[in-house]
């Protein structure tokens, strides 16, 4: 099959590789109809994570079931499905507790930017769209495989509720999805931190009421002013750096909550600071399967449009150009068509 592979820093290729095959009776093979590039794919692209030269890359996709293992009961060839980037059996104690991203049988999509991908635990992971979605819904359905549920998890983890004032730190596709999540949950005021005009536009479309373009002390001062010196009820940390986490904690009012979904890189949490402010911190990899049914309904009912984060669509063969565009911040998020 044709697949996006990574050979080293800034060395993304599209080449012929063996198509994935069923390995376990609970597996399924998906014919990918749309995949995309994640901000986290830029870590190995930039050389920050080690790679096995030639390995496939990409964990987000939707598509049509091609083949299922002998123990798969709920799906058959031809079903159109959303593929959560993290696979789960949805029956283990952690899944039943809503922590599907720590499932006892956790797996991941490994070739989402390719023609085919394997899903472990097909019955537990996949969610049917009930037929092929309308063309103009494809981007939003694709967003449900990772980015939108991850923004949603940030809002859930921060404890966002109707009427809240919320800050979103990070204007990548996840941060923007966090804005949409907070708005959908009824947050009254949503302050997006962004200094990139195209991202500010999407943030506003998603429900941001205020934009803060400054950083550091200036940003804190602006939030203080916007909230009469009180701070916000909830902050969504969607970057993963120490600076972003510090900003999130500092803008949050005493007793408020920080939700964090950026994989921590050098983040130092001060227990004393959290104690003094009585601010809660919670987050991690999103339990995508947990949120999928609710979010899919919202998309199919056209009540949310998370696909707005895709501002560049390329054929699979041009995958390397997609990485360059995202690396140079010329694109927020790139959709790939096999």
Residues binding a copy of itself (CB under 8 A): 93-94, 97-99, 101-102, 157, 228, 230, 233, 245, 253-257, 260, 263-264, 267-272, 274-285, 287
- Cβ 156 to a copy of itself, closest distance in Å? 11
Residue nearer to a copy of itself on the CB measure, 18 or 162: 162
- Cβ 35 to a copy of itself, closest distance in Å? 25
Rounded Cα–Cα distance for residues 232 and 250 (Å): 9
Residue nearer to a copy of itself on the CB measure, 152 or 206: 152
Residue nearer to a copy of itself on the CB measure, 118 or 253: 253
- Cβ 150 to a copy of itself, closest distance in Å? 12
- Cβ 239 to a copy of itself, closest distance in Å? 12
- Residues with Cβ within 8 Å of 199's Cβ and at least 6 positions away in sequence, in order, are 171, 172, 176, 332
- Cβ 337 to a copy of itself, closest distance in Å? 32
Residue nearer to a copy of itself on the CB measure, 95 or 325: 95
The rounded radius of gyration (Å) of the Cα atoms in the chain is: 20
- Cβ 172 to a copy of itself, closest distance in Å? 17
- Cβ 334 to a copy of itself, closest distance in Å? 26
φ, ψ of residue 224 to 5 degrees: the values are: -55, -45
Q: How far is CA 175 from CA 36, 106, 110, 235, 236, in A?
A: 17, 25, 24, 11, 8
Residue nearer to a copy of itself on the CB measure, 22 or 263: 263
- Residues with Cβ within 8 Å of 328's Cβ and at least 6 positions away in sequence, in order, are none
Residue nearer to a copy of itself on the CB measure, 254 or 315: 254
Half-sphere exposure of 60 (CA within 13 A, CB side): 27
Dihedral sign (CA 260, 262, 264, 266): negative
Residue nearer to a copy of itself on the CB measure, 32 or 279: 279
- Cβ 281 to a copy of itself, closest distance in Å? 5
Please state the separation of Cα 41 from the chain's center in Å.
Answer: 12
Rounded Cα–Cα distance for residues 127 and 243 (Å): 36
Residue nearer to a copy of itself on the CB measure, 26 or 100: 100
- Cβ 50 to a copy of itself, closest distance in Å? 17
- Decide if 112 contacts 59 (C-beta within 8 A): yes
Rounded Cα–Cα distance for residues 249 and 256 (Å): 9
E strands present in 84-230: 86-87, 107-108, 116-119, 127-128, 165-169, 189-193, 210-212
Residue nearer to a copy of itself on the CB measure, 16 or 228: 228
- Residues with Cβ within 8 Å of 313's Cβ and at least 6 positions away in sequence, in order, are 334, 335, 336, 337
Please state the separation of Cα 72 from the chain's center in Å.
Answer: 27
- Decide if 259 contacts 157 (C-beta within 8 A): yes
Q: Specify which residues 16 forms β-bridges with.
A: 2
């Amino acid at each position: 099959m044709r697949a996006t592979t990574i050979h080293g820093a800034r060395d993304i290729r599209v080449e012929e590789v063996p198509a994935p095959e069923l390995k376990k009776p609970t597996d399924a093979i998906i014919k990918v109809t749309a995949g995309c590039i994640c901000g986290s794919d830029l870590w190995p692209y930039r050389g920050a994570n080690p790679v096995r030269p030639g390995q496939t890359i990409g964990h987000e996709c939707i598509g049509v079931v091609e083949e299922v293992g002998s123990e798969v009961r709920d799906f058959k060839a031809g079903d159109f499905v959303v593929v959560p980037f993290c696979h789960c059996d949805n029956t283990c104690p952690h899944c039943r507790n809503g922590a599907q991203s720590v499932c006892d049988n956790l797996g991941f999509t490994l070739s989402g930017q390719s023609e085919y991908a394997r899903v472990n635990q097909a019955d537990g992971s996949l969610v049917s769209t009930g037929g092929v979605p309308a063309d103009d819904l494809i981007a939003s359905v694709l967003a449900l495989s990772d980015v939108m549920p991850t923004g949603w998890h940030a809002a859930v983890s921060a404890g966002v509720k109707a009427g809240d004032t919320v800050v979103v730190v990070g204007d990548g596709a996840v941060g923007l999805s966090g804005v949409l999540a907070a708005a959908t949950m009824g947050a009254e005021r949503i302050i997006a931190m962004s200094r990139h005009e195209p991202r500010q536009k999407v943030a506003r479309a998603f429900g941001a009421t205020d934009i803060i373009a400054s950083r550091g002390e200036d940003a804190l001062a602006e939030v203080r002013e916007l909230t009469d010196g009180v701070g916000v009820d909830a902050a969504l940390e969607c970057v993963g750096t120490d600076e972003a986490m510090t900003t999130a904690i500092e803008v949050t009012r005493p007793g408020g909550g920080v939700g964090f979904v950026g994989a921590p890189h050098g983040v130092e949490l001060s227990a004393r600071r959290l104690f003094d402010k009585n601010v809660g911190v919670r987050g991690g990899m999103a339990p995508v399967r947990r949120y999928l049914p609710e979010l899919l309904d919202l998309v199919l009912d056209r009540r949310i449009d998370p696909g707005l984060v895709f501002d560049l669509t390329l054929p699979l063969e041009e995958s390397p150009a997609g990485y360059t565009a995202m690396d140079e911040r010329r694109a927020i998020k790139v959709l790939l068509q096999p």
